[in-house]
Amino acid sequence: MKRTNGYRILFYLVNTLFWFNIFVAGIMGMLVIYLQFDDSILQNSSFNLSLGKGLFDIKLNESPNTKLVQIWVLALLISCFLSIAMLWNFKVLFKNAAKGIIFVSSNTKAIFVTGIIFLIGSFAAGVPKFFIAAKLAPLLNIKHGTITISYSIDGILFIAAVFILLLGAFFKKAVAIAQENELTI
């Protein structure tokens, strides 16, 4: 009985995080829509950054283009939607675990979907960084050296996705064995 109470607590925690994430995604969505129609807030800002005692300067107020912040906010919105989908699957897992139902097909589906979300996230994580770096490159003033902009996948997230998908495959086999055992009894 104590084990199901722990799962129930985890379910309530994930449920709270789920609804908080929906709230944040709603605010981010409204911010994306607002910035699409009125970006005067971004155009009036003056932000300069100097690193390395004059070796590296970024002067954002020289560029009237506000697409950089819009891309960043849109990337955050997409991240919110991926985390909402992931938290929904965690809700399914912990709700079933709180009921004492472990080896069912809905848990297998939730594990596979979580692995796919991690896989998508591993490839999509580098895209906003690449576009932001491409937008920032003309604003950089480097005294010595060159700039190289490249796209890369998030290796840790990719490896986690592969392991979660493998775990889902093993879990699918366990569900088939559990269903076969129920039929023989």
**Six-digit token string for 117:** 């979300």
pLDDT at 170: 95
Number of domains present in the structure of the chain: 1
Contact 158, 102 (CB under 8 A): no
User: Residue 165: which residues within 8 A CB-CB, separation 6 or more?
Assistant: 112, 115, 116, 119
Cα separation, 184 vs 175, in Å, equals 14
Cα separation, 11 vs 163, in Å, equals 23
**Six-digit token string for 29:** 């969505």
Contact 80, 21 (CB under 8 A): yes
Contact 169, 108 (CB under 8 A): no
pLDDT at 129 over 90: no
Burial (CB count within 10 angstroms: exposed 0-12, middle 13-18, buried 19+), residue 158: middle
pLDDT at 44: 58
Q: Smallest Cα–Cα separation from 65: which of 34, 42, 32?
A: 42
Domain residue limits at 43: 2-184
pLDDT band at 185 (very low <50, low <70, confident <90, very high): low
Burial (CB count within 10 angstroms: exposed 0-12, middle 13-18, buried 19+), residue 127: middle
| 36 against 9, higher pLDDT | 9
pLDDT at 126: 83
**Six-digit token string for 116:** 């796919």
pTM of this structure: 0.75
Q: Smallest Cα–Cα separation from 133: which of 68, 184, 85, 66?
A: 68
Residues paired with 59 in a beta bridge = 48
Lowest average pLDDT, out of 83-87, 94-98, 150-154, goes to 150-154
Q: Where are the alpha helices (DSSP H) in the chain?
A: 2-37, 40-43, 67-98, 105-124, 126-136, 155-184
